[in-house]
Amino acid sequence: MTASMLIFGTIGIFVRSVSVPSGILAALRGFIGALFLIILTYILKKRISFKAIKANFIILLLSGAAIGINWILLFESYRHTTVAKATLCYYLAPIFFVIISPFVLNEKMTLKKLLCTFAALGGMILISGIVDNGFNQNIFMKDDWKGITLAVGAAVFYAAVMVSNKKIHDIGAFDKTIVQLITAAIVILPYSLSAETISATSINPKTTVLTAVIGILHTGVAYVLYFSAVKELPAQSTAILSYIDPAAAVLLSVLLLNETMKPLNFVGAAMILGAAMLSELPGKTKDLKK
């Protein structure tokens, strides 16, 4: 689990280094990642259950489409704001899941979850820099704010994926992921081909290698590690360890990309991650102690 989260935490740095448009990069990620998993299932002699896929087909398509849109928005956000800010705003997804779940999954909205929601939204305000700029209206025109908005949009669609996955039953992790990745790539492709173009200068060995790394390492390998860990770990351990991802992303963005964060940004980061983590912890003291 730690290895998968560290891999996920580096994706922003790789995306920033690739000159391919966000949509095309996201589509390539889906196709390469799915192909890697298909080859791996053959090597491991795992059988793809087409019966299980058929039973969950509609919800798999919807969740795959949400993943595709989520990737485009997230990759584009990396190009307009810092990797640290984009990643932290993206981690509002668990909070959006908490907001959506009472309406879609009939889950109860508790006082703890409500307070976590407000804390996370307050953290997003601090991350955005509005307070640092004295609520200057010009901040809404800045490129940084555009990146933050895109990251929040990505979080909304990832929350939709989380809801969709709750409704998928009796299907293997490999089967589910392969269908979702292929669907994501297919959904993205028409938009990418019509709205984006690749310049001849962007097709070079560096771009090819980095794109392959994003597809194989950050998608295929990372998902295999993640699903292998999920089967062995309690749900709460999985939830808590998932926050290695944003912590690594923030740290690496400072060390490798020379990105800076102000004190209020760090307070906002603590509010977002703390609220998201607390919302996933069990309510009963004895369960929490265990």
Q: What is the pLDDT of residue 240?
A: 74
Q: How many CA atoms within 13 Å lie on the side-chain side of 85?
A: 27
Q: Which residue has the higher pLDDT, 151 or 200?
A: 151
- Count other Cβ atoms within 10 Å, centred on residue 70: 23
Question: DSSP assignment, residue 142?
Answer: S
**Cβ distance 187 to 159 under 8 Å?**
no
> What digits encode the pLDDT tens for the residues 77-92?
999 888 888 888 898 8
**Cβ distance 178 to 38 under 8 Å?**
yes
Neighbouring residues of 61: CB distance < 8 A, sequence distance ≥ 6: 179, 183
Q: What backbone phi and psi angles, to 5 degrees, belong to 151?
A: -65, -40
Question: DSSP assignment, residue 10?
Answer: T
> What digits encode the pLDDT tens for the residues 116-133?
888 888 887 777 665 555
> Residue 227 above 90 pLDDT?
no
Q: What is the pLDDT of residue 141?
A: 47
Percent of the chain exceeding pLDDT 90 equals 35
**Cβ distance 188 to 72 under 8 Å?**
yes
The tokens of 70 are what?
């989520």
Q: What is the pLDDT of residue 128?
A: 66
Question: DSSP assignment, residue 216?
Answer: I
Q: What is the pLDDT of residue 217?
A: 95
At 139, the pLDDT band (50, 70, 90 cuts) reads: very low
What whole-number distance in Å separates Cα of residue 81 and Cα of residue 263? 17
At 43, the pLDDT band (50, 70, 90 cuts) reads: very high
Q: What is the pLDDT of residue 186?
A: 93
Neighbouring residues of 190: CB distance < 8 A, sequence distance ≥ 6: none
DSSP codes of every residue in 43-95: HTTPPP-HHHHHHTHHHHHHHHHHHHHHHHHHHHHHTTS-HHHHHHHHTTHHH
Q: Which of 219, 100, 96 is nearest to 156 (CA)?
A: 96
193-213 burial, b for 16+ CB within 10 Å, e for fewer?
eeeeeeeeeeeeeebeebbeb
Q: Which of these ranges, 7-11, 28-32, 196-200, 263-267, has the smallest mean pLDDT? A: 196-200
> Residue 220 above 80 pLDDT?
yes
